[in-house]
Amino acid sequence: MFGFRRRRRARIRKQPFPDAWEDILKKNIPIYSRLTDIDQAELRGHIQVFLHEKRFEGCGGLTMSDEVRVTIAAQACLLLLNRKTDYYPKLKTILVYPSQYFSVVPRDIGGGVVTEVKQTRLGESWHRGPVVLSWDDVRRGAVDPKDGKNVALHEFAHQLDSEYGDTDGAPALQRPAMFAPWARVLQREYDELREDMERHRKTYIDKYGATNPAEFFAVVTEMFFEQPRQLNRRHPELYEQFKLFYQQDPLNWPRTPR
């Protein structure tokens, strides 16, 4: 079965990439034009497999289109470049709202009483469940690749994190020797971020990363791809660990599209 799947995916990756999809990448994904020709070709192949295997559903009145699907798929697959991948095996469905949406969550108000409250969401990633995204925020995050904010990269980083276990900021690494330095560096940086928050010190890493180790991993992923120079300058060991994990070095990308 696994051999058949590999062969099927190889055939899909070799299919011609539609010109209209290429235009979407050039318009909505500035990072695409900064990649090497080899990485661009790999990304296009990954996008084709991703779109073949995942189901997209429009919610809240959103009409699904190739622009929505290709823009989201490109950012999901950017995280897969140069790495062995099974294309987010637990993920089957991506739900897309036109803009920010409400999610009902339980809240303990004390005394054994739990109530439900509405929270505004830009995106969610469910363990063994769907990814949910706001299209307006996906597009905004993709078109501005230097603001360090990208909801699609954030939520698909959660999917990587949970691929072979819990969502805990410890994704599957390529080699056993990588685990000790990864744990040492990320734990130290996470603890420092929490301490900076408690002492009300200014932080470069978004304070949302101090929520828990899983959010720390997702927040730093956004910054790694969108603000690599700043991340490397202020947190060089953290940058090095993410470079090893993602097998990419955004510092070497041209600053402007080729």
What local confidence, expressed as pLDDT, does residue 39 receive?
A: 97
- For each of the domains in the chain, give its residue range(s) and CATH number, in order of start: 2-252 (3.40.390.10)
Q: What is the pLDDT of residues 14-27, one digit of tens each?
A: 999 999 999 999 99
Kindly report which listed range (30-34, 106-110, 135-139, 252-256) carries the lowest average pLDDT score.
106-110
What is the layout of strands, in order, in the sheet containing 55-58? 55-58, 93-97, 131-134, 123-125
Q: What is the pLDDT of residues 36-95, one digit of tens each?
A: 999 999 999 999 999 999 999 999 999 999 999 999 999 999 999 999 999 999 999 999
In this prediction, residue 112 has a pLDDT band, given cuts at 50, 70 and 90, of low
In this prediction, residue 153 has a pLDDT band, given cuts at 50, 70 and 90, of very high
Counting residues of the chain whose pLDDT is more than 70, the rounded percentage is 93
Mean pLDDT of the 23-32 span: 97
| pTM of the predicted model as reported, rounded to 2 decimal places | 0.91
Total count of residues recorded for the chain: 258
How many angstroms separate the Cα of 180 from the Cα of each of 24, 165, 175? 40, 18, 11
